[in-house]
Amino acid sequence: MDKKKIVFSGIQPTGNTHLGNYLGAIRNWAARQAEKTNYFCVVDLHSLTVPQDPENLRFQTRSMAAILLACGIDPQQSTLFIQSHVAAHTEGCWLLNCVTPLGWLQRMTQFKDKSARQESVLTGLLDYPVLMAGDILFYDADEVPVGEDQKQHVELTRDIAQRFNALYNVEFFVVPQPIIPPVGARVMGLDDPAVKMSKSLADKRGHAVRLLDPPDEILYAFKRAVTDSGREIRFSDDPEKAGVNNLLGIYQAVTGKGQAEVEADFAAARGYGDLKVGVAEAVIETLRPIQARYHDLMADTAELDRLLAHGAAQARVISQPKVDEMKRMMGLVLPR
């Protein structure tokens, strides 16, 4: 039997997880987690590259983990943990720093873009990709699902792995592949169907449906969704119908129905108002069990922390020996 591929996914606890994140990625992670060996890491250390309110960061870190669990990530099938709970990540990052040329980090597009907008640039922003490389390399990950904006970071991870292997004349690190996942469902902003639903805009009322929004807020957002001046409810290639297409696409994604079935469901609709309410109700019902599970987890943080401690223990079993072997190879004296 072929060995399962190892996959590492890091998720920042930034809040505002929305319907697009769920339909486009998280739902697929949960549905297909048995196919590969998965590590899901809430990368709280990466969040420190910009100033954070400590209490909010603690809350958002637990919240992100609870959302993943509520969406179906199964601790019996996948390893879910908080990055700062596994010391190998920070310890190993220093070792990788010592084989990574500064010029490689200074050429990173995200660093150049973000540092250009800041008066004072934190060292962590420059070093972010090396910590990310360790996240991946310490688990021998074969694949790293990323968006286009993170692909360069995985390419740097490949460069660091190959440089370490060459310096020490070993095949120590697996050289991972960036995987641009197929779009599970492309969800556009309700206020602008030409723009993807975005975390950075999710606080703008009416733009996004966040996974934890109450039913009345979800209904509000859909009722104000941008459509057009027509009345016909069907899928169309007409750019003017982008808003209607977005609503129908969301309904199709949450119900699992085909295009013909979706159109049939709204054949008797009196107009876009009925469409908006129908899509809102379908989304509310889809999110209801997720929200219930989330609130149960957040109401019992002892159990949530127990699950995360279990995941961290599993992660340490893999990552710490990898880092210890790195130290030995680099000439450090290991404690007895």
Nearest CA-CA partner of 206 in 222, 183, 194, 230: 222
Question: How many Å apart are CA 313 and CA 318, to the nearest integer?
Answer: 9
Q: Which residue type sits at 285?
A: E
Q: Average pLDDT of each block of 10 consecutive residues along the chain (336 residues)?
A: 86 91 89 94 94 95 97 97 98 98 90 76 90 97 86 94 97 93 74 88 87 96 91 88 93 92 90 94 97 97 97 98 97 93
Residue 1's pLDDT is what? 53
CATH number of 199-294: 1.10.240.10
Q: Which CATH superfamily is domain 6-184+301-329 in?
A: HUPs (3.40.50.620)
**pLDDT for 293-306, tens place per residue?**
999 999 999 999 99
At 23 the three-state DSSP class reads helix
Mind telling me the catalytic residues? 114, 196, 199
Residue 64's pLDDT is what? 97
Residue 181's pLDDT is what? 67
Residue 50's pLDDT is what? 86
Q: What is the mean pLDDT of the chain?
A: 92
At 81 the three-state DSSP class reads strand
Question: How many Å apart are CA 47 and CA 45, to the nearest integer?
Answer: 5
**pLDDT for 303-327, tens place per residue?**
999 999 999 999 999 999 999 999 9
Residue 76's pLDDT is what? 95
| Cβ atoms 136, 43 nearer than 8 A | no
**pLDDT for 106-150, tens place per residue?**
988 878 777 777 777 889 989 999 999 999 999 999 999 887 778
Residue 55's pLDDT is what? 97
Domain spans in the chain, listed from the N-terminal domain onward: 6-184+301-329, 199-294
